[in-house]
Structure 1
Amino acid sequence: MAKRCMINREIKRAKMVEKYAAKRAELKKQMINSSLSMEEREVAAKKFHALPRNSSAVRMRNRCEITGRPHGYYRKFGLSRNKLREHAMNGDIPGLVMASW
């Protein structure tokens, strides 16, 4: 199980990404827009860089919903490989069958 503080940090980042998403997108459009003057684009860039770092979506880390494990994460299920295997063996995940031969 991951440290509780690490899991809470990811939750905090997710909230911050959601909060600043529209503002970040608008500032990015202004920075790229060639019809604006160079000074206006520089002002937009300064505002963009003044935003919190954790408001960027690339800083988020996928974690297992049950354990918080960051590695061995399957996006389709939202679980780490260990918990996915346990749930597959118990038959908790519909349509998922463990291979045997």
Structure 2
Amino acid sequence: MAKTCWLEREKRKQKTVNKYAKLRAELKANNDYVGITLLPRDASPTRLQNRCRVSGRRRAYIRRFQMSRLTFREMANAGLIPGVTKSSW
């Protein structure tokens, strides 16, 4: 399970993204990319997607399943992910 402090940090990042979402949309519509770079780093929604929800691991992240490769392998072998089977040849 992911550490509580990591989950809380992700919640804080989500609040920051929501806070600046309207401003980011306006700047993007005006093609003001310099203005976007002046916003806080955590204002970008892409910063939220790179952490496994189960283990909290950042590296080896599989976007399609939104989990790390280690968690994916464990869950796939246990049959917890629909449509995923272990290959054998």
Could you say which TM-score interval applies, normalised by the shorter chain?
A: 0.7 to 0.9
The alignment's TM-score, normalised by the length of structure 1, stands at 0.67
Q: Which residue of 1 aligns with 2:40?
A: 52
CA contact (8 A) 2:57 2:68 kept: yes
Partners of 2:47 and 2:82 lie apart in 1 by: 32
Q: Which residue of 1 aligns with 2:12?
A: 12
Secondary structure of the structure 2 residue equivalent to 1:9: helix
> Any residues of structure 2 matched to 1:19-98 within 5 Å, and which?
19-30=19-30, 32=32, 51-60=39-48, 62-98=50-86
5+ unaligned residues in a row in structure 2: which ranges? none
5+ unaligned residues in a row in structure 1: which ranges? 33-44
The alignment's TM-score, normalised by the length of structure 2, stands at 0.74
Q: Which amino acid aligns with 2:85?
A: V
1:20–1:64: structure 2 CA closer, same or farther, 3 Å change rule?
same
1:49–1:63: structure 2 CA closer, same or farther, 3 Å change rule?
closer
1:66–1:48: structure 2 CA closer, same or farther, 3 Å change rule?
closer
Shift of 1:16: 0.9
In angstroms, what is the RMSD of aligned CA positions?
2.7
Secondary structure of the structure 2 residue equivalent to 1:16: helix
Question: Whose radius of gyration is greater, 1 or 2?
Answer: 1
Percent identical residues: 45
Q: Which has the higher helix share?
A: 1
Further displaced range: 16-25 or 1-10: 1-10
Partners of 2:8 and 2:26 lie apart in 1 by: 28
Number of aligned pairs?
89
